[in-house]
Amino acid sequence: MRPNRRQFIGSAVGSGLSLAFLSQRDPVSAAQAKLDPSVVKLDDSIEPTVRLLEETPREKVLEEVATRIKGGMPYRQVLSALFLAGVRNVQPRPQVGFKFHAVLVINSAHLASINSPDSDRWLPIFWAIDRFKSAQLETQKTSGWRMSSVEESRVPKGSKARDAFIHAMDNWDEDAADLAAAALARTATRNQCFNLFAHYGARDFRDIGHKAIYVANSFRTLDAIGWHHAEPVLRSLAYALLQHDGENPAQKPADADLHWQTNLEQSKRIDADWLNGKSESDASKQLLDVFRTDNEKSAPARVVDALNDGASPDAIWDSILSSAGELLMRKTSIVTLHAVTSANALHYAFKTVSDPQTRQMLLLQNASFVTLFRKAAGENSLSKQHIDTIEKPADTPSLNEIFDAPDKPSAARGTLAYLDAGRDPQALMHAARRLVFIKGNDAHDYKFSSAVLEDFYALSPAWRNRYLAASMYYLPMNSTKDNTLVTRIRSAFA
């Protein structure tokens, strides 16, 4: 069911959106609504706005959208159109990353937007619009891909959708998975779909965690724009999750597939009352050492031992998230950054799914992923820095002094001192987020900042300050060069 106007306004206010954006949008002509019948058609309520983003040249689109917003186009209309334009025009293959970050980043931009003051609210969304136009152009040049319409006569009946999807995904059958995903979107609930997609998003380490990231970010964006937009999103997601090179993994699994089967066996050892452990367990500290040395097979086994010895899943997640943050300290790179953002996605999935075995597998797979990221980063090139041995300076710095620090280690030490002194973490987060708006030039700036600022509160108090301190190794500083797009965005609204 689509929300009525009162429900929409209520949900927008609850999200912190300014009521200035909530009047009726401009009418769109019939000519603008025409679409090639071979291309997937979107919901009638959003199709014209998607066409606006698709067809307006990159050098004009920000100004055109700003004009529509000043004329009354609401935030959710812009967010919905941006996400669906990306899904329809940017191919999530051959790698679930690269140009497809234009889609992956939208939830992160949305989270940044709703947590920002009104003066900055449109900066991340307009940055994402520009990113979409760049990815759209690249796709047009390289493949000309656009999502096609589904062959209606072949879509499974609702009663068969779940089994058809599982069979297609287990056999890496793209055509059958596409049809089953369409059927699921039409007949299954949001939670039923998430249980299925979260399972397959975590089953392999291809694309360094981007599959899990797409699962989490796509469902979270659908939560913001409405489930009635789900069909093209789930079709895109199924296509992305089946990405592989070489032979069909159902016939010949690759190295990226093997730890899933190992962890399935490990999950059978988990005690029935595994959710009732102690959060204050010493397991977090002990598992930090495990993730520094063990491999993708032995680390999950140690996690199972910790659970059976009475550690809670929260204590395990403390160690996983902290280990990911530590990797970024030890070597700041795109690979170690994805240890953080994929852990954020898998943790969100763990909190959201209802199937007990899927929850266990998400935990064990992330334990494998941490070690695989360590290997992918090049173990011999990692520094000896550890998250639990960050030393604080003698004096507590101000926010400006933290972001004016001469180097990243100094910023990390200052951040830990600031937080341990009881200073407001929200003030630090707002300062970091605003620097991303002004200086961020890459989708990873938004993905990373939204992940770490969210996971600060997911960690226990014993670990969260050190985790945020470690994040300073990637967050922008005052000395980072400004993003020139900000001036254009502000001019568009002038």
Chain segment 288-338, per-residue pLDDT in tens: 999 999 999 999 999 999 999 999 999 999 999 999 999 999 999 999 999
Residue 255 lies in a domain: no
Residue 370 lies in a domain: yes
pLDDT-derived band of residue 354, with 50, 70 and 90 as boundaries? very high
Instruction: Tell me, yes or no, whether 210 and 290 share the same domain.
Output: no
**C-alpha span between 300 and 262 (Å, rounded):** 9
Domain stops at, among 381, 412, 443 = 381
How many domains, in total, are found in the chain? 4
Instruction: Tell me, yes or no, whether 21 and 130 share the same domain.
Output: yes
Residue 6 lies in a domain: no
Give the model's pLDDT for residue 298: 98
Q: Using an 8 Å Cβ cutoff, are 393 and 368 in contact?
A: no
Instruction: Tell me, yes or no, whether 409 and 453 share the same domain.
Output: yes
Give the model's pLDDT for residue 438: 92
Domain stops at, among 359, 381, 403 = 381
Instruction: Tell me, yes or no, whether 375 and 286 share the same domain.
Output: yes
Instruction: Tell me, yes or no, whether 309 and 340 share the same domain.
Output: yes
Residue 405 lies in a domain: yes
Residue 85 lies in a domain: yes
- pLDDT surpassing 90 at residue 147: yes
Find the Cα–Cα–Cα–Cα dihedral 339, 345, 346, 351, rounded to 10°: 140
**C-alpha span between 88 and 147 (Å, rounded):** 5
Instruction: Tell me, yes or no, whether 16 and 132 share the same domain.
Output: yes
Residue 269 lies in a domain: yes
Residue 442 lies in a domain: yes
pLDDT-derived band of residue 23, with 50, 70 and 90 as boundaries? very low
Question: How far apart, in Å, do the first and last CA atoms of the chain sit?
Answer: 37
Residue 254 lies in a domain: no
- pLDDT surpassing 60 at residue 260: yes
**C-alpha span between 27 and 43 (Å, rounded):** 16
Instruction: Tell me, yes or no, whether 58 and 159 share the same domain.
Output: no
Instruction: Tell me, yes or no, whether 160 and 81 share the same domain.
Output: no
Give 34-72 pLDDT, tens digit per residue: 456 678 999 999 999 999 999 999 999 999 999 999 999
Domain stops at, among 142, 160, 176 = 142
Give 93-116 pLDDT, tens digit per residue: 888 878 999 999 999 999 999 988
Average pLDDT score over residue span 447-464: 95
Give the model's pLDDT for residue 18: 37
Domain that holds residue 171: 152-241
Give 205-244 pLDDT, tens digit per residue: 999 999 999 999 999 999 999 999 999 999 999 999 999 9
- pLDDT surpassing 60 at residue 258: yes
Q: How many helices (H) and strands (E) does the chain have?
A: 24, 0
Instruction: Tell me, yes or no, whether 452 and 395 share the same domain.
Output: yes
Instruction: Report percent pLDDT > 90 for the chain.
Output: 87
